[in-house]
Homo-oligomer: A and B are copies of this chain.
Amino acid sequence: MTVLILTGEEDVTADMVVVHLNAASVPVVRLDPADLTAGVALSGEYVHGSFRGHLSAGGRLVSVSGLRSVWVRRPGAPAARAAQPSAWLTEEAGQALYGMLRGSAARWMNHPDAARRARHKPWQLRLAQRCGLPVPATIVTTFPQAAREFAARFPDLVVKPVSGAHPQEPPRAVPTSRVAPDTDFAAVAYGPTLLQRRVAKRADIRLTVVGEALLAARKETPADADPDEVDVRFASAATPWLPTEVPPRVAAGVRAYLRTAELAYGAFDFAEDADGTWWFLECNQSGQFGFVEVETGLPVARTIAAWLARPAPREPGCADDRHLAAP
């Protein structure tokens, strides 16, 4: 049974995982959907009620039924590097590749549907609340008056994008910033704005979860830190990331979160306050882990490799009247 890794050619983070899979003699096929139909080929046949599918990449042929897991790392847009790329070819190639893989029994890290859903920050906040994780008071609004009332109740606020990275090439992370006390919120009417109570933090937490395994890193906030520096991605490197323990209630909360979200992998960001409470900021289903592993020595790559190497479950069936209630 083979592990399929969908990613670009230059992906040192994927390389870190492949090393462990190779060491365990687990067969790996790595391909970039962008190389369809130049270098990567596919074929699937639906005859007499059954399906036989194959992928070919780098001269290797693998059967779809022989896949134990699919790691959706950093795949390119399907057929983006074809001889004559087009939106139509990308659509056709994407439907063919993912349509075929979606019918397989392989385990996904992460499944495309779960990944897509998990990117919605309002949905993340609600799910975190339901799973018992403390969430700083937050509003997402296009009503200037609602923003003003929220700012009156919670005067110390940060603003951040609802959706994450700005859709430009290459994508640019939009930093979380502090809201000035005299802010007028009239511009809120022109685009949804996410305002959140600023957590006076004594540390940032990056909790990487792989299946049931929790790998937590903590970066202390220097005592002389500028309170306007709220975004750890742009913070100084004065203090290192160090491994840390996960409080049991947080452990139960994040496991329940990932289970409900149907994610096999998630990188949680928390802000730790003076009381030691971990405040949920977000869960990035494709969050980088290379820097965590390099700085802390936490075995993220090995844990991912072990998850991917597990055997596939039996092929999914069709919902049966006797087992499922009507929708």
Contact = CB atoms under 8 A, between A and B. Distances in A.
Contacts of A113: 113, 116-117
Interface string A140-182: 1111001000100000000001110011000000000000000
A96 B122 contact: yes
Number of copies: 2
A146 to B, nearest CB: 5
A46 to B, nearest CB: 4
A194 B43 CA distance: 10
A125 B47 CA distance: 10
A217 interface: no
Interface residues of A, number: 90
A143 B92 CA distance: 15
Contacts of A130: 316-318
A73 B132 CA distance: 34
A262 interface: yes
A68 interface: no
Contacts of A264: 327
A49 to B, nearest CB: 5
A42 B255 CA distance: 31
Nearest to A103: B126
The 4 closest A-B pairs by CB, nearest first: A99-B122, A99-B120, A103-B126, A96-B192
